[in-house]
Amino acid sequence: MTRPITLFTGQWADLPFEEVCRLASGWGYDGLEIACWGDHLDVALGATDPSYIDGRRSILEKYGLKVYAISNHLTGQAVCDDPIDQRHQDILSPAVWGDGSPEGVRQRAAAAMMDTARTAARLGVDTVVGFTGSSIWKYVAMFPPVTAAMVDAGYQDFADRWNPILDVFDEVGVRFAHEVHPSEIAYDYWTTRRALEAIGNRPAFGLNWDPSHFVWQDLDPADFILEFADRIYHVDCKDVKLAVGNGRNGRLGSHLPWSDLRRGWDFVSTGHGDVPWERCFRALNSIGYSGPISVEWEDAGMDRLVGAPSALEFVRGHLFDPPAAAFDAAFSTR
């Protein structure tokens, strides 16, 4: 198998970066998708201080790991979100939050995403994974009635805020891989089409494929790969389990916490859910995806020290490369 399997460090950011490197190396991961929070990666330093980048590299080398992507979901979320509130203060750095003035937060978040691109380039990484935020996610229930003009304004707001960020990505030769996810400007098939159109289908903006968000929305994650073949810039392996229908557990989650058995679905460790992994891996093969396969471990019902190595074993056991030649080539007499 030629594609590296990496661990996304976002759910491990309460641990020091070196400790996560030690754990990932010991389990047998090839490298990391490094989160830009905790002490894992500081994009303000990364964009300006070569010695800081050297320090990150030396830790990776110490544990025989490579970095294949960096991720700044939390900061990207604040670029377009409306409202900006306590939830954002809880996930943003003090520098981005500042005085909490909503427009100031959005502008500082945009500047930090530009620094994320610069940090990636200095690390020798060509892909940044993240969220965009959305000023119109609050309208998803379509009541009180939402006009077409209000939706149009949301996609225009996204384009206005992200095109300058993507200009910096182009300048430094890095791509942004948006994770299609509820609460974002692109959260399903049709909103992904609309988001790409809003920014003129520019190559700097692609997709991070995470099937867990498709399955509970009744979308086909393998078909999504085929439909957006030229935009799959990164892959996160995360699983989801749908509850057995009982007429009570709804898909919207009922404001219940993760792992509550009254939920209609829940994130689970890779291999323990309902993602059709073989079809998805075959679809990735069919589009020629050769980038990293990153395990994003999320399971509120399983200890992560069990889940992370288990997920790696599952992916290694189910991921395969396409054949070098068709099986029936051996039938030829020529």
Could you tell me which residues come within 8 angstroms of residue 219 by beta carbon, excluding any fewer than 6 positions away? 188, 189
pTM for this predicted structure: 0.96
Neighbours of 330 (CB within 10 A): 7
pLDDT category of residue 244 using cuts at 50, 70 and 90? confident
Q: Determine contact, residues 177/233, Cβ cutoff 8 Å.
A: yes
CA distances from 255 to 89, 217, 251, 266, 274 (A): 20, 17, 11, 12, 22
DSSP string, 71-131: E-HHHHHHHH-SS--HHHHHHS-HHHHTT--HHHHHHHHHHHHHHHHHHHHHHT--EEEE-
Q: d(Cα 132, Cα 73) in Å, to the nearest integer?
A: 8
Computed over every residue of the chain, the mean pLDDT equals 96
State pLDDT tens for residues 164-175.
Answer: 999 999 999 999
Neighbours of 188 (CB within 10 A): 17
Residue 295 lies inside a defined structural domain of this protein: no
pLDDT category of residue 179 using cuts at 50, 70 and 90? very high
pLDDT category of residue 325 using cuts at 50, 70 and 90? low
Question: Does residue 145 carry a pLDDT above 60?
Answer: yes
Residue 147 lies inside a defined structural domain of this protein: yes
Residue 187 lies inside a defined structural domain of this protein: yes
Domain total for the chain? 1
Residues 182-195: what's their mean pLDDT?
A: 98
Domain range for 161 is 73-115+132-199
Could you tell me which residues come within 8 angstroms of residue 325 by beta carbon, excluding any fewer than 6 positions away? none
Residue 8: helix, strand or coil by DSSP?
A: strand
Question: Does residue 332 carry a pLDDT above 90?
Answer: no
Residue 185 lies inside a defined structural domain of this protein: yes
**pLDDT for residue 246:** 86
State pLDDT tens for residues 215-238.
Answer: 999 999 999 999 999 999 999 999
**pLDDT for residue 321:** 83
Residue 2 lies inside a defined structural domain of this protein: no
Residue 221 lies inside a defined structural domain of this protein: no
Residue 265: helix, strand or coil by DSSP?
A: strand
pLDDT category of residue 326 using cuts at 50, 70 and 90? low
User: Dihedral (C-alpha) 158, 160, 165, 167: value to the nearest 10 degrees?
Assistant: 130
State pLDDT tens for residues 258-309.
Answer: 999 999 999 999 999 999 999 999 999 999 999 999 999 999 999 999 999 9
Question: Does residue 132 carry a pLDDT above 80?
Answer: yes
Residues 244-270: what's their mean pLDDT?
A: 94
State pLDDT tens for residues 51-107.
Answer: 999 999 999 999 999 999 999 999 999 999 999 999 999 999 999 999 999 999 999
Residues 32-44: what's their mean pLDDT?
A: 98
**pLDDT for residue 5:** 98
Residues 320-328: what's their mean pLDDT?
A: 73
Residue 206 lies inside a defined structural domain of this protein: no
Residue 180: helix, strand or coil by DSSP?
A: coil
Residue 300 lies inside a defined structural domain of this protein: no
**pLDDT for residue 32:** 98
Q: Determine contact, residues 280/239, Cβ cutoff 8 Å.
A: no
pLDDT category of residue 333 using cuts at 50, 70 and 90? low
